[in-house]
Amino acid sequence: MKEKQFKIGKIPDGISLEEVVFTFTQEANCCDGGGIEEIKIEAKSSLGISSDGGAFFVLKTEQWAVDEPNNIQDLLEVCKKSVNQMIK
């Protein structure tokens, strides 16, 4: 996966980041045919992301095909970097 470079700003003082939902889409795989595949990755924390200084990630999808296992890791890294840019 080719990573696109973007900069997310820090959350302003006095504002808390509680939860973030990332939604990714891709063309359907060649075996199942059909439309678009979608995966949602939710960044959550029991006390809020800002308060805990980070998040855990929940993956939600009906179907998301990958060629290599690291494709999922790449998506998670994008989410983690984005969250870190907002709270650091």
- Kindly state the average pLDDT of the residues 41-52: 95
How confident is the model at residue 9, as a pLDDT?
82
Per domain, the residue ranges of the chain are 20-87
Question: Average per-residue pLDDT in the chain?
Answer: 90
How confident is the model at residue 4, as a pLDDT?
67
Surface-to-core class of residue 86, CB atoms within 10 Å of its CB (0-12 exposed, 13-18 middle, 19+ buried)? middle
How confident is the model at residue 3, as a pLDDT?
60
The 56-63 sheet, strands edge to edge? 20-27, 36-44, 56-63
**C-alpha to C-alpha distance for 46 and 19, rounded to whole angstroms:** 10
pLDDT at 1 > cutoff 60 = no
Report pTM.
0.85
